[in-house]
Amino acid sequence: MAIIVDNDTRLVVQGLTGSEGRFHGLRNKAYGTNVVAGVTPGKGGQDVDGIPVFDTVAEAVDEAGANTSLIFVPARFAADAVYEAVDAGIATVICITEHVPAHEMLRAYTYFRPKGVTMIGPNCPGVLSPGKANAGIIPAEIFTEGSVGLVSRSGTLTYQIGHELTQLGLGNSTIVGIGGDPVVGSSFIDVLEKFEADPQTELIVMVGEIGGDEEEKAAQYIGEHVSKPVLSYIAGFSAPPGKTMGHAGAIISGSSGTAQAKKEAL
């Protein structure tokens, strides 16, 4: 199986006609992902390498059967793009856009969560289920299919650790980059729950970093609800006191959020 994206994924790329949306949307298509539509207001009726472009996500759902959205729109429009996807009936939203204001994301979060929508991001590399579908900017060619589920706050570490697993002959069921912003659509716990229920996933790797308390929350959840082995890597043990990582969510407050505190919790 896999989680979040798979052979049943029918992807619509919001912002497909932009440079980033086009580049990565076509890479996803070339990988084998079923990219059924793009959306750019005012450009309906056009196409990008054979992928039809619609003015609205609702049209992409009604006419192309889209069920998953990949967002490549400027930060000032990203929250509205999330609302549009959710209102159109999209069940899975993956937002690559960075610099989305935290207060806008917080409002969006309280809107889509009660509706049961799965959202990944913003400021994330997306989701890859090797051999099935790639939705985002993950370099799929360095991963292979297998039984290790990987979830990470860091995009670069997602690639590094996933590739090392491939080099060791250990492929991945799904790779999920949840994003490094203070407010993201899915937490470690949300993804751990999905991996626990996924028959293909036999072991889970969780990649965290200094700042926040998501890893500590995940540690408690793992102890109470996860039966599969979990290995974790925490970046930032050598960071000087007061040093922040590059992500907006990597902020240490007092003794909370340090690498040592996360290690002890795990």
Tally of residues, the chain: 266
- Inter-residue contact 11 to 68 (CB < 8 Å): yes
Among 3.30.70.120, 3.40.710.10, 3.40.50.261, 3.30.70.270, name the CATH number for the domain at 143-266: 3.40.50.261
Return the domain boundaries, the chain: 1-123, 143-266
> pLDDT of 50-94, one tens digit each?
999 999 999 999 999 999 999 999 999 999 999 999 999 999 999
Contact status, residue 105 vs residue 81, Cβ threshold 8 Å: no
One fold for 1-123 and 143-266: yes
- pTM here is 0.93
Q: Two tokens at 203?
A: 């072991």
Catalytic residue among 24, 99, 225, 247: 247
Establish whether the linkage from the previous residue to 122 is cis, with ω within 30° of 0. Answer: yes
Q: What is the pLDDT of residues 101-132, one digit of tens each?
A: 999 999 999 999 999 999 999 999 999 999 99
Give how far Cα 167 sits from Cα of 161, 162, 171, 175, Å: 10, 9, 9, 16
247 is catalytic: yes
Position 154 scores a pLDDT of 86
- What span, in angstroms and rounded, lies between the C-alpha atoms of 73 and 40? 9
Q: What confidence score (pLDDT) does residue 249 get? A: 55
Tokens 């360095």, located at residue:
142
Kindly report the CATH number that applies to the domain delimited by 1-123.
Answer: 3.40.50.720
3-state secondary structure of 94: strand
What pLDDT score was predicted for residue 231?
Answer: 96
Contact between 171 and 148 (Cβ < 8 Å): yes
Q: What's the rounded Cα separation, in Å, for the pair 196 and 89?
A: 26
Query: What pLDDT score does 46 carry?
Result: 97
Quote the pLDDT of residue 245. Answer: 55
Walk along the chain (266 residues) and give the pLDDT tens digit of each residue: 899 999 999 999 999 999 999 999 999 999 999 999 999 999 999 999 999 999 999 999 999 999 999 999 999 999 999 999 999 999 999 999 999 999 999 999 999 999 999 999 999 999 999 999 999 999 999 999 999 999 999 888 989 998 999 999 999 999 999 998 889 999 999 999 999 999 999 999 999 888 778 899 999 999 999 999 999 998 877 877 665 555 555 555 545 678 888 888 88
